[in-house]
Amino acid sequence: MLTVHHLNNSRSQRILWLMEELGLDYELKKYQRNAETNLAPPELIAVHPLGKSPVLTDGDQTIIESGAIIDYVIRRHGGGKLQPDPSTADYDTYMQWLQYAEGSAMLPLMLFMYVGRLGEAGAPLHPRIESEIANHVGYINRHLEGREFLVGDSLTGADINLSFVGEILGPFGKRGTFPNVDRWIASLHKRPAWQTALEKGGTYAFA
């Protein structure tokens, strides 16, 4: 049985959406952040030593990292859905976007969030961070010109993984600067599977 270990207001929301898009049977275990620290509860350490979410368990296997989880579920349980044919060039493009989400695109946004808590002490870092956000999100925005999805003409795991980047721009007040990203996220949020995942996962601050 596939089990999604889901932390509220976290990237594990994407994994619930993945499960719903594929129509898979899965168990959902919910965890709540500490109200004071906003950190994950210690119960997650019992699932994996890092105590982070998302975590997926499948029998005796435990998989961490959003991209790895998405790849695992699609390969093992997807029945050919949500990824291009592995023998095609589109598959190579798909894998790049799948890994790009966490490997590059999220870093400047995480820095923006954490450095912002430093107040004036973080001010010298803001120009470089803003430049990197413009660089990475601008790259995504240009790629989405005239496109509904990142790769091919249908949803893939790459859209699911990279969606968090587009979503988090909203509360940062930056998504309107990138109209193609804004359009893409709005379209993804209309999908029935995304809405079902939101209902199951609970309040999602970045939605």
Q: pLDDT tens across 38-86, in order?
A: 788 899 999 999 989 999 999 999 999 999 999 999 999 999 999 999 9
pLDDT at residue 206, as a whole number: 56
Q: Closest Cα to residue 134, out of 99, 96, 110, 105?
A: 105
pLDDT in tens, 99-137: 999 999 999 998 988 888 888 888 888 899 999 999 999
- The full length of the chain comes to 207
3-state helix, strand, coil in the chain (%, to 5): 55, 10, 35
For the chain, what is the mean pLDDT?
A: 93
- How far apart are the C-alpha atoms of 62 and 53, rounded to whole Å? 12
What's the Cα-to-Cα distance from 159 to each of 14, 126, 191, rounded to whole Å?
10, 28, 12
Specify whether the CB–CB gap between 73 and 24 falls below 8 A. yes
Taking a C-beta distance cutoff of 8 angstroms, is the pair 89, 82 a contact? Answer: no
| Share above pLDDT 70 across residues of the chain, in percent, rounded to a whole number | 99
Give me the residue spans of the domains in the chain: 2-82+193-201, 89-191
Q: Which residues contact 49 (CB under 8 A, 6 or more apart)?
A: none
Provide the CATH topology of domain 2-82+193-201. Answer: Glutaredoxin (3.40.30)
pTM for the whole thing?
Answer: 0.94
Q: What is the DSSP letter of 180?
A: H
Beta bridge partners of 28: 4
Q: Average of pLDDT values for 164-169? A: 93
Second-level CATH architecture of 89-191: Up-down Bundle (1.20)
